[in-house]
Amino acid sequence: MTGFRKMTAFAAAAVLLLAGCATTTGGSGGGGDPAGGRLTAAGTYPIESLDPHGAQGATTGTQLAAQAIFSRLVRPGADGKVEGDLAEKWEPGATAAEWTFHLRSGVTFSDGKPVAAADVVASFERMMTLDGPNAANFPGYKMTAPAENEVKLTAPAPDASIPRKLGLFYVIPRTVTAQDTAFFTRPIGSGPYTVNRFAPGEVLAMSPNAKYWGDRPQLANLEIRTIPDLSARLTALRTGEVDVVWGIPDDQLPVLSETDGLTVKTVPSTAVFTMWFNSSTPALKTAEVRRALWQAVDFGTIIKQLYPRTGALADGLVAPAVLGYAKQQPVGHDPKAAKAALESAGFDFGKKLRLQFSDAEFRPFVQAVASGLAEIGVQVDVLEKEKAVFTEDLLALNWDINFQQLATPTYDAASNLGRLYTCAAKRTGYCNKDLDELLAKAGESPDEAERAELYGQAGKIIWADAVGMYPMTVQLAYSWRARVTGFTPDPSGLPDFSHVRLAGA
Amino acid sequence: MSQAAVLPQQVATRRWRRGAPARVPYVVIALYALVALIGPLVIDYDPVHTPLTDRLLAPGSQLSSGGVAWLGTDALGRDILAQVVYGARTSLTIGLATVLVACLVGVTIGVVAGYARGWLDAVLARITDVLQAFPAILLAIVIAGVFARSVPVVVLSLSVTAWISFARVTRGVALSLRERAWVDAARVMGVPVRSIIVRHVLPFTVGPVVALATLEFALVVLAEAGLSFLGIGLPTGAVSWGQTIANGQQYLETAWWISTLPGIALSLLIINMGILGDQLTARYGQRRTRS
């Protein structure tokens, strides 16, 4: 009798457990939605906040949400060129220190109120007051509204990259104060979507904004879910619980490609694996030593083995889509020459170099690099650090070689080369007066072709002096189910769902 | 009475029959110790070297260097068998060191508290109570996370809570022992306290402490693997089962051997340690009233 009771109790518990699973994993299933047109996406990073001006404003998750809910003055297009969003046209003043943006007329927020220049100015001031990471792009910048449909941004010094930098600036209603957090639980914006439900780090459910000025999105419902565990995310894609997934590691791609009903595609991102040398370390002071270390590692083989589909040998400091990209002479793998160069430079083989990095996903790559350096007798201490510690040490130059996946979300070398390689930046311990001059000139010129040319010259110096190693450009892998049509993978991991349709919906 | 009727021969066979499965843990643990001691001398392994052309090979595959990867290779082409062998050494070393430190600290505090009684006992007992209120693994994660990664830090972070059970057990033993006639006699004869503790109290704690140490050892090995799995334990240069298991996490579907084989090695050791601990507890363990 007791045995039977136990059995029933066990069975009941099992049923409950299963039912529990069903509600948590299957509740938002895309397949059988009667209304049709519900798309579920699962990105790489969680959406912790919807406030694009706040401390989380620069994170990929918040950016992804913000571009669906809010509008910007301008936004980067698929090819990296600047497109108008709220602004119809824009032009610099006498110098690039002053930019005027003419607003599109007839744009309203989702509550029906018109978007005016005052909203844009108030949003800019809110961003500057909150002093989040995006505000750091505009130190001392002022925005004014000289007319009802015109805003003017004034920089303390000429800055030609302003239109591209403004791709990170979102407009919200002027009534929202800096400390207003309640607004962002159901925010009002002028973007293609409005928010139905938001649970930080879990789910963001949206539906089309009926008042959107552009083409109305085709999907009836768009849900962006956070599934932190990679294998769970891929399983969800295969079972149909999720329709679109991106940021998939290379080793998982063959399995997905073989699965019926899944499309796998990679797009070149703006990210480049960047491995700076700390030029203020005595051992790495000379360009000969740094170049030799670069030569010692067989990056070609490493990339072919670890990133056959999502990586390619880099031939520039920034990705080809970025303004300021210039092709450089590839550094070939030559361990013998490397060893000889190190010996003639008097390199101390007894001393260990500290190689720091942060994310576990890069561990194999970094370890393979350390293995390559070890082969010519250079000892490397591979230090995997927690994100906060890593950033602190990075800024304090508390490393010898630093690994980072460096993206250029503004598609402008100003925010990469112009920001990181000046003497004043003190980011790599490298200082070169000629380079400083070139970068300053490139930052000021309003002519894009001239800027690209100047950044190209600067890149040549950085590449030749081996301020760092620039082994690989990164491709971002996307996979989506067959019923999703019209989806374009985005190079920055911020896909736009407004043109996506669902077959049969 | 009935025992007299049984031939000594039969008793021996029965004991042997009953004893054979009981000896399994000894054999398994001895095997692990042997592998940890001798294995690294036989198998050559350099965690820094990454032969990428051999990556993700299935168990029994031919390596490009001509050898055979009996247990397969990981995502960087490193041999899994070597990682299991070197990981055994790491696990056993850290387990032994932690248990030793915890044992020394715990027994000292426990005996002093139990023998002294009074305010000293009150203070020490409350300290152990307060520490016990913290989840052990959380405390270990905090300590291991704050300092740079190294073996001593892992040992320290695991010992911080491991000594508590030793202290509690020895305190109980000492409390009851100090009332026994031979201790009283020694005290009356004017034997110094230190000698009483060393000669008349400590020897009686050995049984329960050894039994407890075995169980603690299993827990420590598991906790170390857990820390390494989370990537906060040992430096990347060290080989640990936890690290290998973590490395294979995303390959469970395509290359199951990376996580599975070290996982089996770990669970076999833990299970056998647990059985051995139970046996020892049954034989030497102090029957304690739960407080």
Residue B18, pLDDT score? 65
Chain-centroid distance, C-alpha A24 = 29
Residue A229, pLDDT score? 84
The alpha-carbon gap from B10 to the nearest alpha carbon of chain A, in Å, equals 37
Does B61 lie at the interface with A, CB-CB under 8 angstroms?
A: no
Task: Tell me the pLDDT tens digit for each residue of B256-274.
Answer: 999 999 999 999 999 999 9
Task: Tell me the pLDDT tens digit for each residue of A124-150.
Answer: 999 999 988 888 889 899 999 999 899
The alpha-carbon gap from B50 to the nearest alpha carbon of chain A, in Å, equals 6
Nearest-Å Rg of the Cα atoms of chain A is 25
Name the residue ranges covered by the structural domains of chain A: 69-183, 269-474
Does B56 lie at the interface with A, CB-CB under 8 angstroms?
A: yes
Residues contacting A119, CB < 8 A, separation 6+: A171, A172, A173, A174
Task: Tell me the pLDDT tens digit for each residue of B43-65.
Answer: 989 888 999 999 999 999 999 88
Q: What is the DSSP letter of A260?
A: T
Residue B65, pLDDT score? 87
Task: Tell me the pLDDT tens digit for each residue of B11-32.
Answer: 666 665 567 788 899 999 999 9
Phi then psi for B103, rounded to 5 degrees?
A: -65, -50
In CATH, what number does A269-474 get? 3.10.105.10
> What's the average model confidence in pLDDT over A38-44?
91
pLDDT at A237 over 90: yes
> What's the average model confidence in pLDDT over A457-486?
94
Chain A / chain B CB contacts < 8 angstroms? 54
Residue matched to tokens 């590691």: A249
Residue B217, pLDDT score? 95
Cβ burial of B171 (10 Å; 0-12, 13-18, 19+) is: buried
Same fold, A69-183 and A269-474: no
pLDDT at A34 over 80: no
Residue A23, pLDDT score? 37
Rounded Cα distance between B99 and B105, Å, is 10
Band the pLDDT of A54: cuts 50, 70, 90. confident
Does A89 lie at the interface with B, CB-CB under 8 angstroms?
A: no
User: Crossing angle, helix B136-146 and helix B202-230, to 10 degrees?
Assistant: 60
**Which chain A residues are Cβ-neighbours of B50 within 8 angstroms?**
364, 367-368, 371
The alpha-carbon gap from A370 to the nearest alpha carbon of chain B, in Å, equals 7
Band the pLDDT of A56: cuts 50, 70, 90. confident
pLDDT at A14 over 50: no
> What's the average model confidence in pLDDT over A203-212?
94
Residue A16, pLDDT score? 42
Residue matched to tokens 């070297």: B49
Rounded Cα distance between B125 and B119, Å, is 10
Residue B230, pLDDT score? 86
pLDDT at A9 over 90: no
Residue B289, pLDDT score? 38
**Which chain B residues are Cβ-neighbours of A374 within 8 angstroms?**
48-49
Question: Which residues, listed in sequence order, are joined to residue A275 by a DSSP beta bridge?
Answer: A403, A469
Residue B11, pLDDT score? 67
Task: Tell me the pLDDT tens digit for each residue of B208-257.
Answer: 999 999 999 999 999 999 998 888 888 877 899 999 998 898 888 889 99
In A395-463, beta strands by DSSP E: 401-406
Which of A231, A301, A370 is nearest residue B252 as measured by Cβ atoms? A231
Which of A251, A255, A380 is nearest residue B75 as measured by Cβ atoms? A251
**Which chain A residues are Cβ-neighbours of B253 within 8 angstroms?**
231, 255
Mean pLDDT of chain A: 88
Task: Tell me the pLDDT tens digit for each residue of A420-457.
Answer: 999 988 999 999 999 999 999 998 888 889 999 999 99
A371·B48 Cβ contact <8 A: yes
Residue A95, pLDDT score? 85
> What's the average model confidence in pLDDT over A358-382?
92
Going from the C-alpha of A392 to that of each of A181, A355, B13, B291, the distances in angstroms are 29, 15, 68, 47
Contact B59, B72 (CB under 8 A): yes
Give me the percent of chain B exceeding a pLDDT of 90: 62
Nearest to A155 by CA among A124, A195, A123, A193: A124
- A69-183 CATH, one of 3.90.76.10, 3.40.50.300, 3.30.56.10, 3.50.50.100: 3.90.76.10
> What's the average model confidence in pLDDT over A293-315?
94
Does B53 lie at the interface with A, CB-CB under 8 angstroms?
A: yes
pLDDT at B5 over 70: no
**Which chain B residues are Cβ-neighbours of A370 within 8 angstroms?**
48
B49·A382 Cβ contact <8 A: no
Quote the Cα angle for A434-A440-A444, to 5°.
Answer: 145
SS (H, E, C) A64-81: HHHHHHCEECEEECCCCC
Mutation pick from A371, A378, A403 vs chain B, by most beta carbons of B within 10 Å, is A371
pLDDT at B196 over 50: yes
A368·B75 Cβ contact <8 A: no
Which of A231, A306, A384 is nearest residue B231 as measured by Cβ atoms? A384
pTM for the complete prediction?
0.81
Name the residue ranges covered by the structural domains of chain B: 25-50+62-290
**Which comes out higher in pLDDT, residue B213 or A56?**
B213
Helix (H) or strand (E) holding A502: strand A501-502
Rounded Cα distance between A194 and A205, Å, is 9
Does A259 lie at the interface with B, CB-CB under 8 angstroms?
A: no
Rounded Cα distance between B29 and A307, Å, is 41
**Which chain A residues are Cβ-neighbours of B49 within 8 angstroms?**
371, 374
Parallel/antiparallel/unpaired status of strands A353-357 and A380-384: parallel
Residues contacting A81, CB < 8 A, separation 6+: A411
Going from the C-alpha of A423 to that of each of A280, A283, A402, A417, the distances in angstroms are 12, 20, 18, 12
Task: Tell me the pLDDT tens digit for each residue of B88-115.
Answer: 999 999 999 999 999 999 999 999 999 9
Cβ burial of B14 (10 Å; 0-12, 13-18, 19+) is: exposed
Half-sphere exposure of A466 (CA within 13 A, CB side): 19
* DSSP per position, B149-164: P-HHHHHHHHHHHHHH
For chain B, give the number of residues. 291
Rounded Cα distance between B144 and B233, Å, is 6
Does B180 lie at the interface with A, CB-CB under 8 angstroms?
A: no
Mutation pick from B45, B49, B50 vs chain A, by most beta carbons of A within 10 Å, is B50
> What's the average model confidence in pLDDT over A271-275?
95
pLDDT at B181 over 50: yes
Residue B264, pLDDT score? 96
> What's the average model confidence in pLDDT over A384-401?
89
Q: What is the end-to-end Cα distance of chain A in Å, rounded?
A: 54
Does A371 lie at the interface with B, CB-CB under 8 angstroms?
A: yes
Q: Which of residues 226-245 of A touch B (CB under 8 A)?
A: 230-231
Closest residue in B to A230 (Cα) is B250
Band the pLDDT of B285: cuts 50, 70, 90. low
Task: Tell me the pLDDT tens digit for each residue of A247-258.
Answer: 999 989 998 999
Does A175 lie at the interface with B, CB-CB under 8 angstroms?
A: no
A255·B253 Cβ contact <8 A: yes
- B25-50+62-290 CATH, one of 1.10.3720.10, 3.40.50.1820, 3.30.420.40, 3.40.50.2300: 1.10.3720.10
Does B45 lie at the interface with A, CB-CB under 8 angstroms?
A: no
Residue type, A325: Y
Band the pLDDT of A386: cuts 50, 70, 90. confident
B249·A252 Cβ contact <8 A: no
How does A159-184 read in b/e, with b if 16+ C-beta sit within 10 Å?
Answer: bbbbbbbbbbbbbbbbebeeeeeeeb
Tokens of A339: 């060893």
Give me the percent of chain B exceeding a pLDDT of 70: 91
